[in-house]
């Protein structure tokens, strides 16, 4: 299986990432992708920017471990995970998860599995700024519940 | 040993990390926390006493009784919120 993990400040192209998965091997029968964006609204607060910080080294290691777990559960041909850090604004892309496999079910499930684990395990933190204030976000119970379903 | 702080914890302490000498006083994570609280005072006690605090040793999540040695990298951080 071909895999790619990157924590980066630069933006990414969904098309280029999908093409990497598509052209890697002729066995590919389907690709599922998820792209997370900065939304301008959170808990009724108008968001102006989002600052993302991570633990260099540990984050990459954790993402590799999450992909290892996905690979044990599903027959995957390719996985690409990109997470941006630094200062982002509404409409900006934050995270990309792309999974290729022979069949769609494996793609869909593995893509969701990787996102659910990424949200609850990868050492990344968000600080949200509105006109009134800046604050570090708290972990959501709903994210933990989603991850524990697996 | 190298001690690192991230996100809200880094901001509250106003340092990214520090070098701490490994002694009998820092034999495990809880002992290190007690030592840091003793040398720094507040807000270390309040922040490192938070039940939601997460700790890693050499970039793997660790418990408070995890043993420490001189070459270890220990990090303290809040629950994660990426994605």
Q: State how far the Cα of A6 lies from the Cα of A124, in Å rounded to an integer.
A: 13
Q: pLDDT tens digits, residue range A76-107?
A: 999 999 999 999 999 999 999 999 999 999 99
- Closest chain B residue to the Cα of A85, Cα to Cα: B82
Tokens in use for A9? Answer: 């400040």
The pLDDT, as a whole number, for residue A144 is 87
Q: State how far the Cα of A11 lies from the Cα of A63, in Å rounded to an integer.
A: 19
What is the percent of chain A with per-residue pLDDT over 90, rounded to a whole number? Answer: 85
The pLDDT, as a whole number, for residue A116 is 96
Rounded to the nearest angstrom, the gap between the alpha carbon of residue A33 and the centroid of all alpha carbons in its chain is 10
Per-residue DSSP letter, B28 = B
Residues B82, A118: C-beta atoms closer than 8 Å? yes
Assess A86–B contact: CB distance below 8 Å, yes or no.
Answer: no
Measure Cα distances from A61 to A121, A123, B63, B66 in Å.
11, 10, 19, 20
Residue with tokens 């389907």: A30
Assess B7–A contact: CB distance below 8 Å, yes or no.
Answer: yes
Around A73, how many Cα atoms within 13 Å sit in the side-chain half-sphere? 17
Query: A89 phi and psi, to 5 degrees?
Result: -130, 165
Residues A52, B82: C-beta atoms closer than 8 Å? yes
Please give the mean pLDDT across all residues of chain A: 95
The pLDDT, as a whole number, for residue A72 is 97
Judging contacts by C-beta atoms under 8 Å, the chain A residues touching residue B79 are 138-139
**Best CATH choice for the domain B2-77 from the list 3.20.130.10, 3.30.70.890, 3.10.20.30, 3.90.1300.10:** 3.10.20.30
Q: Around Cβ B53, how many Cβ atoms within 10 Å?
A: 15
| Chain pair A-B, CB pairs under 8 angstroms | 68
Q: pLDDT tens digits, residue range A12-28?
A: 999 999 999 999 999 99
Residue A8 has pLDDT above 80, yes or no: yes
Q: pLDDT tens digits, residue range A119-133?
A: 999 999 999 999 889
> In CATH, what number is assigned to the domain containing residue A79?
3.90.1170.40
- Our CA-based measurement puts residue B38 at a distance from the nearest CA of chain A, in whole angstroms, of 26
The pLDDT, as a whole number, for residue A139 is 86
The pLDDT, as a whole number, for residue A41 is 81
Range of the domain at A9: 2-148
pTM comes to 0.94
Q: pLDDT tens digits, residue range A32-66?
A: 999 999 998 877 779 999 999 999 999 999 999 99
Q: A76-84 and B2-5 as β-strands: parallel, antiparallel, unpaired? A: unpaired
Query: What is the number of domains present in chain A?
Result: 1
The pLDDT, as a whole number, for residue A44 is 75
- ipTM of this complex prediction, to 2 decimal places: 0.94
Measured between CB atoms, which of B6, B11, B80 is closest to A120?
B80
- Our CA-based measurement puts residue A56 at a distance from the nearest CA of chain B, in whole angstroms, of 9
Please report, in tens digits, the pLDDT of each residue of chain B (83 residues total): 999 999 999 999 999 999 999 888 889 999 999 999 999 998 999 999 999 999 999 999 999 999 999 999 999 999 999 99
Q: Rounded mean pLDDT of A113-123?
A: 97
- Our CA-based measurement puts residue A31 at a distance from the nearest CA of chain B, in whole angstroms, of 20
Q: State how far the Cα of B11 lies from the Cα of B1, in Å rounded to an integer.
A: 21
Judging contacts by C-beta atoms under 8 Å, the chain A residues touching residue B59 are 55, 57-58, 61
């Amino acid at each position: 299986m071909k895999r790619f993990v990157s924590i980066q400040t630069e933006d990414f192209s969904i098309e280029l990432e999908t093409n990497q998965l598509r052209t890697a091997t002729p066995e590919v029968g389907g690709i599922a992708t998820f792209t997370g964006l900065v939304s301008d609204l959170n808990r009724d607060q108008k968001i102006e920017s989002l600052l993302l910080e991570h633990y260099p080294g540990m984050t990459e290691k954790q993402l590799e471990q999450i992909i290892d777990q996905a690979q044990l559960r599903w027959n995957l041909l390719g996985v690409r995970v990109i997470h941006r850090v630094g200062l982002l604004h509404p409409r900006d892309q934050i995270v990309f998860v792309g999974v290729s496999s022979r069949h769609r079910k494996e793609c869909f499930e593995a893509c969701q599995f990787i996102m659910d684990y990424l949200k609850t395990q990868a050492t990344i933190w968000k600080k949200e700024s509105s006109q009134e204030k800046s604050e570090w976000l708290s972990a959501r119970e709903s994210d933990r519940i989603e991850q524990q379903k697996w | 040993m190298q001690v690192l702080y991230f996100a809200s914890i880094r901001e509250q302490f106003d340092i990214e990390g520090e070098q701490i000498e490994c002694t009998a006083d820092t034999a495990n994570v809880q002992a290190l926390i007690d030592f840091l609280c003793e040398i720094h005072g507040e807000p270390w006690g309040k922040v490192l006493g938070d039940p939601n605090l997460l700790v890693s040793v050499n970039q793997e999540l660790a418990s408070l009784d995890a043993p420490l040695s001189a070459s270890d990298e220990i990090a303290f951080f809040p629950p994660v919120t990426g994605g």
